Chain A
């Protein structure tokens, strides 16, 4: 059942996501159905594609309706889909039944390449998995291997002469019984660590911090989806750097000068103490407005190229546009990036650029 429509449905979804047939993209409309979940109204997204046909425009058009109302009274939405009676639901706000994070990450990922996380440090994170591949003579009845047990019983009865072909009853006794049993197989898991660094200095406005948060959130979601056993570290910095937890990272507001080198130093320290590169795949992402304390730049580049780069799989630098700063750090690091393929740089001028920037970071597949 259901196989045929499944293909058409997948095809439709692909078109809606813009994977195929971009010529249809302009006909896609994001409709919604209004449903009810408990006491809340929920909006169920319902994308649709309207193939163009010769149609009447709305000018001078009309129709026939049913119900109360005086001539001249506006109709709320005569052709609308079974609109909810918003009137008897004062203040009822509409929740979005959006896609789950998983689904979003999948959509996002269709255009990205996975980071090639290398199997390092097998000893470090190993999970065990039970596989039912062997047989034992004892065990719980629920795991009894019926076929083998039956065969054994049959063999025993035939050899002992108690088997009567006319009355082929086979009764297993305790010795006949065989049970399924498991073997433990170790499963190495990829081990990776992501270090997020964010500039929270005074020159970063709230909007820019927001962009950084959104972007790191998506990178996080994406990598988390594909690798188990991923550890993360968060560093915020202005003139000094400090390690914070996830919540603080996404919610912190600070001000002060900017010394990028402080963050790089701290990252280096964290890697050395907790995530030795022999055992770990390390990813580092740094977001800043590129407005660094002038004398600090050479120091940053030195730490980066000498210390950090040999230890990481990928170093991503994302620069948001600052109304104050010069953004000159981008040029310096871009110079370095030209020589080092482990560095990826990207500019994020506004929210719309976030997706493109994530693509730049992750499409390298490193």
Chain B
């Protein structure tokens, strides 16, 4: 991929790279080989518009991001300093015209990210050869565009992008259902593997490990269960991975199915980055500040460094800056674990002075934050480590939408409120939960979706338009159960008309149960 951009790392940056990499390793960071590429602002904007992958498939939406980045850069409003790709080796881009001190800072920051990519549990399933994979995706989609027409392929991509967030982010960690192949047609006929509960064993141990009597019993109960279940649903359980359901069951042409699975693959590759935004940026910022202030900074560079660092941490307006929250919370955790400010004894202490002066000199803070970066994502990170003291110190508040005034107002500075709002905005990336309830609704092959309503209504015009896109893929009418103004409502689109009808309460309850138990 070096062919497109002029990327040779100039000698002085190569020396810097070795220096910074050395510091990073001294501190115990552990990362894949990292390749820095030096590019011009235009190229960097282009790469950023493609989500970091210069070989991505063509689509106008990347042109749109590019225009925004380019205008922002041209008018001096915004500037991308760093761009790093979760891949093995890691690719990171440096802007050619940056000062040396900026390049240092960016490198230190990048090593933080690389370490995070490699070690954080939520990235463990991602494809580390994504650079190649995305190039393959691009080539495939370009091939389809040539064979089936650009307009056709683009229109289908538009449709895919409308639903590309309907994935099940936990499915990589939980086995929701048995291995399923779309070529395995037996499954749909209801036949299950009779030996499902059999343990693996050598021949001579077979009777001991899988006693025939027990096996028979199991089969008996399984059959009984299967027979007593009056109507096996399709899907059996509400399916959150709507994309997978479409791929497996929608009447798509082979090339459409392939494009949809490309979109899904990329969605699964990218979501951990959204899922760990605060922690990941916090971690990288923690390391750039540690490496710079303790090791790499020359006295003459101090002002520039401080300017750049504070710019990154600045809060614009009243918006939460993930860099700031992340780094502060990590520092807080390190400090608390250094001083032993955790555990039941500390939690039960009501005396403010004692709490403040609490110091058991444990010195296990560094160890703790390495653990945090290994096992946490944003939600669990905030849930576990956000403290009332932290909220006060950083002036966090929660806001909500006032329906009458038609604007957002500050709601509260109560710890519980703040934490709840923050966690909510991170849950499912702040997007509604949509499940497939039935792929054969009314026994007419219609698609029934369910919005797992949790207090906030859907944006109706968008929901309707999204239904249109889904309908075009599914080709039969599609329905969405949701709540509008506390009334259970069924939004439908049959290919020509939208309808919305209030549905009976009893119906609602029955369907509600499986969704809620998850």
| A interface residue numbers (CB < 8 A to B) | 1-2, 4-5, 7-13, 15, 20-21, 24, 27, 33, 35-37, 42, 44, 46, 48-49, 51-80, 82-83
Contacts and interface: CB of A to CB of B under 8 A. Distances in A.
27 contacts: A1-B6, A2-B43, A4-B54, A8-B49, A11-B58, A13-B67, A33-B77, A37-B75, A42-B75, A51-B162, A53-B462, A53-B466, A54-B165, A55-B432, A60-B401, A62-B398, A64-B397, A64-B418, A65-B320, A66-B318, A66-B321, A73-B409, A73-B410, A75-B409, A75-B410, A78-B317, A82-B317
Interface of B: 4-6, 40, 42-43, 45-46, 49-50, 54, 58-64, 66-68, 71-72, 75-78, 151, 154-155, 158, 161-166, 315-321, 324, 394-403, 405, 407-413, 418, 421-422, 424-425, 430-432, 434, 451, 455-466, 469
A60 to B, nearest CB: 5
B460 to A, nearest CB: 7
Nearest to A97: B75
B463 A60 contact: no
A53 B162 contact: yes
> Which of the listed residues B60, B394, B451 has the most CB atoms from chain A within 10 Å of its own CB?
B60
B317 A80 contact: yes
A83 B317 contact: yes
A315 to B, nearest CB: 40
Contacts of B430: 56
Given A8-B61, A64-B422, 5 more contacts: A8-B59, A11-B60, A51-B61, A54-B165, A75-B407
B75 A1 contact: no
Contacts of A74: 402, 405, 407-410
B409 A64 contact: no
A79 B396 CA distance: 16
Contacts of A5: 45-46, 49-50, 62-63, 66
A83 to B, nearest CB: 6
A54 B451 contact: yes
A37 B46 CA distance: 25
B421 A1 contact: no
Contacts of B45: 5
B410 A66 contact: no
B4 A1 contact: yes
A74 B431 CA distance: 24
Contact of B395 (A12, A48, A66): A66
A33 B458 contact: no
Contacts of B460: 57
Contacts of B6: 1
B162 A65 contact: no
Q: Which 10 A-B pairs have the closest CB atoms?
A: A8-B63, A62-B400, A52-B465, A12-B63, A9-B63, A65-B318, A35-B75, A12-B60, A11-B60, A5-B46
Contacts of A7: 58, 63
A53 B165 contact: yes
Contact of B401 (A15, A62, A71, A73): A62
B76 A35 contact: yes
Contacts of A20: 151
A195 to B, nearest CB: 41
A120 to B, nearest CB: 42
Given A2-B46, A75-B399, A75-B407, A60 B63 contact: no
Contacts of B424: 62
A55 to B, nearest CB: 5
Contacts of B401: 58-62
A60 B400 contact: yes
Contacts of A60: 400-401, 403, 455-457
A51 B457 contact: no
A54 B462 contact: yes
